[in-house]
Amino acid sequence: MQSDHRQLVEQYMKAWSSHDMDGIVAGFTEDCVFEDMALQDRFEGHEGLRQFAAAVFAAAPDFEWIPTRTFADGASVCTEWRMSGTHRGDFPGMPATGKRFDVLGVAVDEVSAGRIRLHRDYWSLATMLQQVGLMPAPEA
């Protein structure tokens, strides 16, 4: 069961990297909640998830989301990941810069009936903003 949950999470992250919208939503329950803690935003249901993914792909057409380590305990899955891309399109509050980003993060997923019911991402928005030139790096 736990390996099935890990495989489910790895499959939907692969769908993000290949920009497969149907593959992304297939991993989630229809009443899912997707929370991005860095962006302080919440997306509900398949339609909310599709809208968020479309905005991400428009902002970073080469977006990749790669799991590096995945742990499962019952219905909970925790994944360490790396997201990267080139900031070629505007994202709310973030005008396009054409610069690359490569950020580490962690996701926590709750699985119900073989699909993800709740997803939370934790990552550093400051790191991404520094990498794309929208925020100065801290002085050493």
Per-position pLDDT tens, the chain of length 140? 677 999 999 999 999 999 999 999 999 999 999 999 999 999 999 999 999 999 999 999 999 999 999 999 999 999 999 999 999 999 888 999 999 999 999 999 999 999 999 999 999 999 999 999 999 988 86
pLDDT tens readout for residues 15-26 = 999 999 999 999
Question: What DSSP string describes 101-131?
Answer: EEEEEEEEEEEETTEEEEEEEEE-HHHHHHH
**Residue 41, SS3 per DSSP:** strand
What pTM was estimated for this model as a whole? 0.93
Give the C-alpha distances (Å, rounded to integers) separating 94 from 43, 99, 128, 132, 135: 19, 12, 11, 9, 10
Length of the chain equals 140
List the domain boundaries for the chain. Answer: 2-131
Does domain 2-131 fall under CATH 3.10.450.50? My reply is yes
